[in-house]
Structure 1
Amino acid sequence: MFATLTKQGLCAAALFAAVSVHAADKLPNVVILATGGTIAGTGATSTTTVGYTAAKIGVEKLIEAVPEMKKVANVKGEQVFQIASESMTNDHWLKLAKRVNELLKQSDVDGIVITHGTDTIEETAYFLNLTVKSKKPVIIVGSMRPSTAISADGPINLYNAVATAGSKDSVGRGVLVTLNDEIQGARDVTKTNTMTANTFRSPELGSLGYIVSGKPIFYRASTRKNTADTEFDVSKLDKLPAVDIAYGSANANTIAIDAFAAAGDVGIVYAGTGDGSLANTVRPRLTELRKQGLQIVRSSRVGNGPTIRNGENNDDETDFVVSDTLSPQKARILLMLALTKTKDTKEIQRMFYTY
């Protein structure tokens, strides 16, 4: 009798294992690429939400902290780098984009989640939005509170990101940013508050949707080309063209502009006042630099609305480019990538109206 019961138990265990394997086979395969940030940060106490140390926890511990993810995807992790996102560089972006593209070529990868510090999420998201060569979902996620804090937002944000990355509804929507139960498009999203959990917003056009009980629900999509539909290829690039941002204000001067030019920049984004206005103390120098070959993009520090071509400046005459609705930090990204393709101002302007 004991032998019979043991045999029955083994059969039941084998059946359960087979069912579990079959269920896992039906789940999407999601790779988490960890880069550091607050989501991997720790604080001195459970109430420390400012003054914590970012980028301390590795990807395996992040995954272990959210076992619920295993119900929505087969998850594996990889530590790409471990930094606070204010230290993100062009080299980091190139490495990350190349790794994302390598993984998305694999048939056993359905989507990717990138854990990231919030300070430059919007920039990394837009860079990948222009350089990822796949329609498969790429989701960037972070948190505003470190992992040790009361009501840390990292675990639920990570769970939602994995669920979104594994959803067929996310395919072809470009790179997405998910925090605070919201889905934002890479082109539109920006950090709007230094400390609150609802900091990420798309002020002009709004979010793309919500994540409800682990399911992404989309209400709109971006009309601008992205990912597999872009003309940019970073696979053979070792570095990006040198482009910096000069900030406009009252009493504007050319000190920063001159320094960037002297340092060898090939492009400057000018974050002007209002509709990208150029002070009389600045316009002549930018015009001169354009004649010398530097690309000049006129953008705005305002944060909402397009910078209009030939509005506050005769851009046709000065041969400047306008950023449309891109923020200065995102205009910098597009200008760098544009300069890997062409130096023709009209072509670069076309890119700003396309992406």
Structure 2
Amino acid sequence: MRDKPNIVVLGTGGTIAGRGAGYANTSAYACSVLKIDEVLAVLPQGSRRANLRTEQLLQTGSENFNNDHLLLIGKRVSALLEQADVDGVILTHGTDTIEETAYFLHLTLKSVKPVVVVGAMRPPSAMSSDAPLNLYDAICVVTHPASRGRGVLVVSNDEIHTARDVTKVNSFKLEAFASPYGPLGYVVEGEPRFYRMASRDHTVLTPWSLARIDRLPKVDIVYAYGALDADTVGNVAAHAEGIVYAGTGNGNVADHIVAALREAARNGVQVVRASRTGSGVIVRNGAQPDDDYGWIVVDDQVPQKARVLLMLAMLNDPAERGALQAAFYRY
């Protein structure tokens, strides 16, 4: 039928597919128990907005996802978007790493068709579950013409976020997701209302195509804290192609850590300065002489997303630090 948009709903597990022992179990529950067909079965209203086709791609909490999972999800979503009879894709996903998967898709998909990533903070079995409404809102967004060309969107708690900006900022509350510049819009009474655009390049404007990616470089994150020692940094660097250093404040690096990061850079490891604060801009050559040390700064990106961008940027020319730095200012 073509009277309504044709939407594919990919299931990967997560809380949105979870089940608790009782109605009051909002934080203690079994994750990834329900199949995507079972999740949709309690939402008959969804079929009024679209012709929904389901596919169970994975069945696990997103804390388990690695680079292979990113590629599996990305390649499947990309293949679906190439089909003429598919008008958009919804990816149900655990909330733990939803921002990383969404950003990876935001940078690699080559389509203007809407893609919405959605999860839930409380399982469908809980009396206050956000799973049905989040999923319904995702259907409303993915079928709306205004969602085309906006890149990958994350829908949660009546808000529409760009995958570039959104992060999980709370461990159990319904309002668990936020963007530093605010959401792109809201879902009001089942209708998306957009109020701003994401300005950084994405999807069709990036150089990364999933058809040409079979492996992602190994990039790790080192989180700064008061007692972090240089040996820890050195051990991570010895097994990585890139390091995102989540420094304190403005990406600050303790005096006794500088030598380890400089040594990593001399050995060909790409070192990126970020901040553990969760928002704000890291100024190049501000807290550290990045030019002298051969380091890169994230601009305003959080460490976990900086890792995703660095992996992709290194596919082009892993040794060209100028190009890698430019990627952080463009995407």
2:205 alignment partner, one of 224, 229, 242: 229
1:327 alignment partner, one of 260, 282, 302: 302
Structure 1, unaligned stretches of length 5 or more? 1-23
CA distance in 1 between partners of 2:273 and 2:211 (Å): 29
CA distance in 2 between partners of 1:218 and 1:256 (Å): 45
1:50-69 aligned within 5 A: 50-69=27-46
Q: Which residue in 2 is equivalent to 1:19? A: none
Name the aligned partner's letter for residue 163 of structure 1.
C
Contact 1:189–1:201 (CA<8 Å) still a contact in 2? yes
Q: Which residue in 1 is equivalent to 2:249? A: 274
- 1:251: how far off? 2.9
Q: Which residue in 1 is equivalent to 2:225? A: 249
Q: Which residue in 2 is equivalent to 1:156? A: 133
Secondary structure in 2 matching 1:246: strand
- 1:163: how far off? 1.3
1:96 aligns with 2:73: yes
Q: Deviations over 1:112-152 (max 9, x none)?
A: 10000111111111111111111111100000101111021
CA distance in 2 between partners of 1:30 and 1:328 (Å): 32
Q: Which residue in 2 is equivalent to 1:183? A: 160
Please, what TM-score do these two structures have when normalized by structure 2? 0.98
Name the aligned partner's letter for residue 225 of structure 2.
S
Give the stretch that moved more between structures: 247-256 or 38-47.
247-256
2:58 alignment partner, one of 55, 70, 81: 81
Q: Deviations over 1:292-312 (max 9, x none)?
A: 111000000011111110110
- 1:289: how far off? 1.1
Q: Which residue in 2 is equivalent to 1:284? A: 259
CA distance in 1 between partners of 2:215 and 2:286 (Å): 34
1:299 alignment partner, one of 258, 274, 287: 274
1:352 alignment partner, one of 325, 328, 331: 328
Contact 1:252–1:281 (CA<8 Å) still a contact in 2? no
CA distance in 2 between partners of 1:234 and 1:309 (Å): 31
Contact 1:324–1:352 (CA<8 Å) still a contact in 2? yes
Name the aligned partner's letter for residue 354 of structure 1.
R
Contact 1:126–1:175 (CA<8 Å) still a contact in 2? yes
Q: Which residue in 2 is equivalent to 1:37? A: 14
1:123 aligns with 2:85: no
Percent identity (aligned): 47
Secondary structure in 1 matching 2:11: strand
Q: Which residue in 2 is equivalent to 1:6? A: none
CA distance in 1 between partners of 2:255 and 2:328 (Å): 26
Q: Which residue in 2 is equivalent to 1:205? A: 181
CA distance in 2 between partners of 1:124 and 1:182 (Å): 18
Structure 2, unaligned stretches of length 5 or more? none
CA distance in 2 between partners of 1:90 and 1:149 (Å): 32
Q: Which residue in 2 is equivalent to 1:8? A: none
Q: Deviations over 1:317-347 (max 9, x none)?
A: 1111100110000000011111111120000
Equivalent residues, number = 330
Name the aligned partner's letter for residue 233 of structure 2.
I
Please, what TM-score do these two structures have when normalized by structure 1? 0.91
Contact 2:234–2:261 (CA<8 Å) still a contact in 1? no
Contact 2:26–2:129 (CA<8 Å) still a contact in 1? no
Secondary structure in 2 matching 1:206: coil
Q: Which residue in 2 is equivalent to 1:310? A: 285
Name the aligned partner's letter for residue 106 of structure 1.
Q
CA distance in 2 between partners of 1:300 and 1:256 (Å): 18
Secondary structure in 1 matching 2:187: strand
Secondary structure in 1 matching 2:155: strand
- 1:235: how far off? 1.7
Secondary structure in 1 matching 2:146: helix
- 1:65: how far off? 1.3
- 1:250: how far off? 1.7
